[in-house]
Amino acid sequence: MRMRARAALASSPVLLLLLLLVGGCAGAVYKVGDLDAWGVPPPSKPDVYKRWAKSIHFALGDSIWFLYPPSQDSVLQLAPEAFASCDLSRPVARLADGNSFFNLTAPGRAYYASGAPGHCRKGQKLWVDVPMANGTYLQPSATDLAALAPTPAADPPAGTASAPEGASASPAPRAAAAGSVVALCFALQILL
């Protein structure tokens, strides 16, 4: 709980409220990015989305929330290869209402990018790692690892494929955190 609450509070106190009210204790809701809105990262924060995604330990059932002017942007969920090349032609899912929730319902790595022309190539993209229900992360697949290669044309150096980037959380704190969240939900139900 401590880690999850800190992550939520760091983003916004409103978010914690949202977690408790809208989430109904079923899963946390995280607003994507540390910017005002889902948009092209400013030159001062080129990797804002990558940093954001790494700062949070997601759990199965959590949701990520993209907020943006619907006339200016949209959100696509992409396959790993499409993510790597910013190929927006065949998204897994697309939301464009300006207030988009993607639900982390499957363990593994999920990829998202802006659907606005040119934005993905300007760094408006991110992935999140979702562990299994018991807190264990799946090993990234070969396509996951290929998607992270900095330059698609370059051969990956031998022996670099074993470190699952972004999957650094150990299962034990995760399980403990889940227990505390359940306890908090219980306490809230008694109070409210």
Ligand X SMILES: *[C@@H]1O[C@H](CO)[C@@H](O)[C@H](O)[C@H]1NC(C)=O
Residues found near ligand X in the complex (CB under 6 A):
93, 95, 101-103, 132, 134, 136, 171
CB of residue 77 to ligand X, shortest distance in Å: 7
Q: Are 136 and 169 in contact (CB under 8 A)?
A: no
3-class secondary-structure state, position 126? strand
- Measured from the CB atom, the residue of 136 and 180 that comes closer to ligand X is 136
- Measured from the CB atom, the residue of 6 and 94 that comes closer to ligand X is 94
Q: Are 87 and 98 in contact (CB under 8 A)?
A: no
- Measured from the CB atom, the residue of 60 and 148 that comes closer to ligand X is 60
Q: Which two tokens stand for residue 84?
A: 């790597």
Q: What angle do CA 146, 150, 152 make, to 5 degrees?
A: 55
The phi-psi region of residue 14 (left if phi > 0; otherwise alpha if psi is between -120 and 50; otherwise beta) is: alpha
CB of residue 111 to ligand X, shortest distance in Å: 13
Alpha helices in the chain (DSSP H): 2-11, 13-21, 48-55, 80-85, 142-148, 171-191
- Measured from the CB atom, the residue of 133 and 161 that comes closer to ligand X is 133
CB of residue 45 to ligand X, shortest distance in Å: 26
- Give every CB contact of residue 131 below 8 A, 6+ residues apart in sequence: 58, 59, 60, 107, 137, 138, 167, 169, 171, 174
CB of residue 136 to ligand X, shortest distance in Å: 4
CB of residue 50 to ligand X, shortest distance in Å: 21
- Measured from the CB atom, the residue of 149 and 167 that comes closer to ligand X is 167
